[in-house]
């Protein structure tokens, strides 16, 4: 586990984080809605074995896809219309850690609180605050959702090389997709009115 990870702005488990407005009971209901059950938890443990060593490769791949997208790449642009490389590098370390955490972390209160923090960091509430950056103030929701398809499906080449059976690979893929969408559901809370979320 990652209890001693030191990455600037990686506030998982920090006492400075407010409690998520989402309760653990609501989280369990969301897990059920995703089909994220004990088997999915077990599959993510297997995913960790193959994905954690490639976490940075995955983020590099995702970043290369974002860089080719005229609109998505702008989430990293500063006021001068150029990529803010300092911000990109800072966020990248936490994105790599997210891959590992998504496979390894229990879904407890500390995890829930940090998901809310990640959600806010995609919206005007906190997008630039952690890194004292001056990029655009939102990752548009439509791209957050759309790009989750890329995050869900691009683990396949790594799975293909792993020493699991075809059945196991399919189960791991499904668990990863469910995990991605559970994160996504939580991250959208700061985007919408409470009565619609």
Site of interaction with its own copies (CB under 8 A): 29-30, 32-36, 65, 69-72, 123-124, 138, 140-143, 145-150, 152-154, 156, 166, 170, 173-174, 177-178, 180-182, 184-186, 188-189, 191-192, 195-197
- In DSSP terms, which residues pair with 77 in a beta bridge? 83
82: its two tokens: 């150029």
81: its two tokens: 């219309």
Of 16 and 165, CB closest to its own copies: 165
- In DSSP terms, which residues pair with 83 in a beta bridge? 77
Cα–Cα distance between 133 and 86 in angstroms, integer? Answer: 8
**Helix ranges restricted to H, 35-140:** 38-51, 55-67, 85-104, 109-120
Give the nearest distance from C-beta 41 to its own copies in angstroms. Answer: 14
Give the nearest distance from C-beta 187 to its own copies in angstroms. Answer: 9
Distance between the two ends of the chain, CA-based, in angstroms?
32
Sign of CA dihedral 67, 119, 177, 14: positive
Give the nearest distance from C-beta 120 to its own copies in angstroms. Answer: 12
Give the nearest distance from C-beta 5 to its own copies in angstroms. Answer: 27
Cα–Cα distance between 166 and 9 in angstroms, integer? Answer: 38
Give the nearest distance from C-beta 119 to its own copies in angstroms. Answer: 11
- In DSSP terms, which residues pair with 162 in a beta bridge? none
């Amino acid at each position: 586990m990652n209890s001693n990870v030191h990455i600037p702005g990686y506030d998982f488990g920090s006492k400075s984080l407010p409690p998520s407005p989402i309760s653990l009971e609501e989280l369990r209901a969301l897990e059920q809605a995703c089909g994220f059950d004990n088997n999915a938890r077990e599959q993510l443990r297997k995913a960790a074995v193959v994905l954690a060593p490639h976490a940075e490769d995955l983020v590099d791949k995702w970043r290369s896809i974002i860089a080719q997208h005229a609109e998505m790449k702008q989430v990293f642009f500063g006021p001068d219309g150029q990529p803010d490389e300092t911000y990109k590098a800072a966020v990248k370390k936490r994105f790599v850690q997210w891959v590992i955490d998504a496979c390894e972390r229990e879904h407890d209160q500390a995890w829930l609180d940090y998901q809310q923090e990640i959600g806010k960091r995609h919206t005007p509430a906190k997008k630039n605050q952690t890194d004292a950056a001056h990029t655009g103030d939102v990752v548009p929701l439509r791209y957050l959702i759309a790009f989750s398809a890329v995050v869900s499906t691009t683990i396949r080449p790594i799975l293909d090389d792993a020493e699991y059976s075809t059945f196991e690979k399919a189960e791991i893929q499904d668990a990863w997709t469910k995990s991605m969408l559970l994160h996504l559901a939580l991250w959208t809370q700061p985007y919408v009115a409470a009565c619609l979320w």
